[in-house]
Amino acid sequence: MASGTVERKAQVRAAMARYRLRHPDRVKASQEKWKADHPEEFRASQRRNDAYQYAKAPEKSADKKLARAARLAGRRVEKISRTKIFERDGWVCQICMEPIDRTLKKPDLMRASIDHIQPISKGGHHTVDNVQASHLLCNLRKGNRS
**Contacts with Zn ion, residue ranges (CB under 5 A):** 93, 95-96, 135, 138
Judge whether 136 and 82 are in contact, CB under 8 Å.
Answer: no
Of 11 and 146, the one with the shorter C-beta distance to Zn ion is 146
Pairing of strands 131-135, 112-116: antiparallel
Of 27 and 117, the one with the shorter C-beta distance to Zn ion is 117
Q: Any idea what DSSP says for residue 132?
A: E
CB 143 to Zn ion: min, Å: 14
C-alpha distances out from residue 140 to 21, 26, 68, 111, Å: 47, 47, 19, 12
Of 77 and 139, the one with the shorter C-beta distance to Zn ion is 139
User: Which one, of 99, 69, 73, lies nearest residue 86 by Cα?
Assistant: 99
> What is the CB neighbour count within 10 angstroms for residue 125?
19
CB 84 to Zn ion: min, Å: 19
CB 86 to Zn ion: min, Å: 13
Residue closest to Zn ion (Cβ) = 93
Of 75 and 135, the one with the shorter C-beta distance to Zn ion is 135
CB 108 to Zn ion: min, Å: 13
Judge whether 89 and 129 are in contact, CB under 8 Å.
Answer: no
